[in-house]
Amino acid sequence: MDQKKTEPGSSHCNGMSQVVLYGEFTATDNIKVRYSLCLTELDLTVQKITSATAGQSKLVFNLRDCIGCQAFKGDDSTDVGAYFSAFFYPFKKRWMSSGVARQRVEQCFRVELGQDPFANLEEAQQWARTINEYSAHHRPHREGVLYSQVRQPCRVMLLLNPYSGKGQALALFNTHIQRMLTEAGILYTLVITERQNHARELVREADLSQWDALVIMSGDGLLFEVVNGLMEREDWETAIQTPLGILPGGSGNALAASVHHYAGYQPLLSEELLLSCGFLLCKGLVSQMDLVSINTSSNQRLFSFLSLAWGFVADVDIESEKYRYVGAARFTVGTLVRLACLRVYQGRLAYLPAEEAVHPAEDTPPLPPSAFCASLLCQPSKASSNQNTFHNSCNSNNAIKARRGEAPAGAPRGPRDSLLVPLEQPVPGDWTVVEEEDFVLVLAMYQSHLSEDMMAAPDSTLQDGLIHLYYIKAGISRTALLRLFLAMEKGTHMACDCPHIVYVKVRALRLEPLSPKGVITVDGELLDYGPVQAQVHPGLARLVCV
């Protein structure tokens, strides 16, 4: 088959960008149907070659929506042609509702320059390499954020809890994520967790040199295990720099929703959110992420990436476990049940106000400033020869929540809490002390979302070095509280001008419950009930995001 090429820069496709490659190929299923392909630095234009007026049957695919392109030989040994497929996930209008969501589009073509199968394959490989190269130049990123590189070729351990959410995580992986990783050329090993704290034990003992990223497909609880497993290692300083990826497979999916929000995209839920997060994982920018150290009166020290909650939010999180079978709607049901019997808790609260955003601590290894376009893309390979999938008998990581987080014997690891004093001592003089108060809730957030559809801290970012502290005082009506939570879907709850809610940005805090019974949660996980204090550690972890 004839193929025409232009020298790069000799012409423009659509009159906009320089042409990198041009060729004419046939359809994979019908060699009588021919297409012209024009690849520029920005996009791939596909046009069906017919006698019709020029411009008809033309499709333009932006390379920023491409996660990979692969070249391959056909299954028929007598076929001298070669093939290449490019995989795009552009935003397109939903079929049955308003708004847009990413939808998969594959473009596959047959190359036959002549009867030499090696020359045909070489040409297909050139197209695949070039598309991959230029799509890597167009990864989404935010101004002012530094990114690090992932080693190439990348190797990913993907930890999956099959019982998270409605128990569909494994089916969703098989339907969407497995294909996306293969299309992006990402080598992975799938590990299905067997029991509570299984992931924590795995990463605590694993040889991390085998992996370039750890990806979690579950709710936020599994990532909580992984973070604390990394921080319990002797080499925690380097271990916690292992890039972490998050794919929503649970009920809350707060971090996944936050990552999607940070990318500047419209809110999405369920499988649409999963597809978006899978796309961001495959594009593979790695940013810093703040962690918060949590200290309890029982000398327990944990690390948190999402939230610390006491009162209404914590009650709903734990008590709604019985509605897990309805998925994310469990929180709605739990909220309505708790509103019907609103509780008030007595306690003391103190915090260190943050006058300005905190930059990463001096002892936190900085990201290379020149590495802002890192990718998880690897060389194309057949998944069957490069992945080991372990299917174990499984129990839910998020079954009725027992106290978790007990570290191995020995001194707690991690950076020093320079802003905190022992819990038995008074807080420092530069702290703000809230007089003994009756609270409906206390909520400390360090990501934008509390769940898929609750933007509790819209001003939060991954690495702002801040704890976004909210507390609601007793006296608020059920109607006003419900109005606040409804407004939280769009992050407009502070515009409700409710006198009972207080919001302040802090660097550290101390909470001392005085009510004899109650629930405190960290990242949705049950914590020992009693006095607790926390400090943010800016940029301590790494997260695959934008």
Determine contact, residues 326/336, Cβ cutoff 8 Å.
no
Q: Is the pLDDT of residue 405 over 50?
A: no
Residue-wise pLDDT for 87-98, tens only, equals 999 999 988 788
**Crossing angle between the packed helical segments 312-319 and 329-340, to the nearest 10 degrees:** 120
> Are residues 132 and 104 both part of a single domain?
yes
User: Residue 163 has which token pair?
Assistant: 């019982």
Determine contact, residues 64/135, Cβ cutoff 8 Å.
yes
pLDDT of residue 97: 82
> Are residues 378 and 519 both part of a single domain?
no
CATH, residue 332: 2.60.200.40
Q: Is 76 a catalytic residue?
A: no
Q: Is the pLDDT of residue 386 over 90?
A: no
Q: What share of the chain is helix, strand, coil (3-state, %, to 5)?
A: 25, 30, 45
Give first-to-last CA distance, the chain, whole Å: 42
pLDDT of residue 260: 95
Domain annotation covers residue 257: yes
pLDDT of residue 152: 55
Domain annotation covers residue 280: yes
pLDDT band for 319, please (50, 70, 90 cuts): confident
- Pick from 544, 464, 237, 232: which is nearest to 365 by CA? 237
pLDDT band for 10, please (50, 70, 90 cuts): very low
Residue-wise pLDDT for 517-542, tens only, equals 999 999 999 999 999 999 999 999 99
pLDDT-wise least confident of 196-210, 408-422, 463-477: 408-422
CA atoms within 13 A on the CB side of 99: 9
> Are residues 178 and 314 both part of a single domain?
no
CA distance 275 to 89: 9
User: Residue 327 has which token pair?
Assistant: 């998925």
> Are residues 281 and 381 both part of a single domain?
no
CATH, residue 14: 2.30.29.30
- Write out the residue range of the structural domain in which residue 270 sits: 148-290
> Are residues 379 and 349 both part of a single domain?
no
Domain annotation covers residue 545: no
> Are residues 374 and 350 both part of a single domain?
no
User: Residue 231 has which token pair?
Assistant: 């921080």
Domain count, the chain: 4
CB atoms within 10 A of CB 167: 16
Determine contact, residues 503/494, Cβ cutoff 8 Å.
yes
The percentage of residues in the chain with a pLDDT greater than 90, rounded to a whole number, is 68
Q: Which residue has the higher pLDDT, 374 or 20?
A: 20
Give the end of a domain, one of 79, 108, 137: 137
Q: Is the pLDDT of residue 406 over 80?
A: no
> Are residues 154 and 263 both part of a single domain?
yes
Q: Which residue has the higher pLDDT, 498 or 356?
A: 498
Q: Is the pLDDT of residue 477 over 90?
A: yes
pLDDT of residue 393: 30
Average pLDDT rounded to a whole number, residues 11-17: 61
pLDDT band for 332, please (50, 70, 90 cuts): confident
Give the end of a domain, one of 377, 403, 429: 403
CB atoms within 10 A of CB 384: 7
- Pick from 356, 358, 364, 506: which is nearest to 428 by CA? 506
Q: Is the pLDDT of residue 481 over 50?
A: yes
Type of residue numbered 422: P
Q: How far is CA 22 from the centre of its chain?
A: 36
Residue-wise pLDDT for 166-205, tens only, equals 889 999 999 999 999 999 999 999 999 999 899 999 999 9
Residue-wise pLDDT for 23-35, tens only, equals 999 999 888 899 9
Rg (CA), the chain: 26
Domain annotation covers residue 541: no
Domain annotation covers residue 458: yes
Domain annotation covers residue 204: yes
Determine contact, residues 347/471, Cβ cutoff 8 Å.
no
> Are residues 158 and 193 both part of a single domain?
yes
> Are residues 306 and 426 both part of a single domain?
yes
Residue-wise pLDDT for 244-277, tens only, equals 999 999 888 999 999 999 999 999 999 999 999 9
CA atoms within 13 A on the CB side of 348: 15
Determine contact, residues 387/189, Cβ cutoff 8 Å.
yes
Give the end of a domain, one of 244, 269, 290: 290
Determine contact, residues 150/243, Cβ cutoff 8 Å.
yes
> Are residues 48 and 61 both part of a single domain?
yes
CA distance 250 to 327: 7
CA distance 35 to 4: 12
> Are residues 53 and 33 both part of a single domain?
yes
Q: What is the mean pLDDT of the chain?
A: 85
Domain annotation covers residue 122: yes
- Pick from 281, 295, 453: which is nearest to 377 by CA? 281
CA distance 203 to 187: 18
Q: Which of 43, 65, 212, 220 is catalytic?
A: 220
CA distance 321 to 317: 7
Domain annotation covers residue 537: no
> Are residues 481 and 356 both part of a single domain?
yes
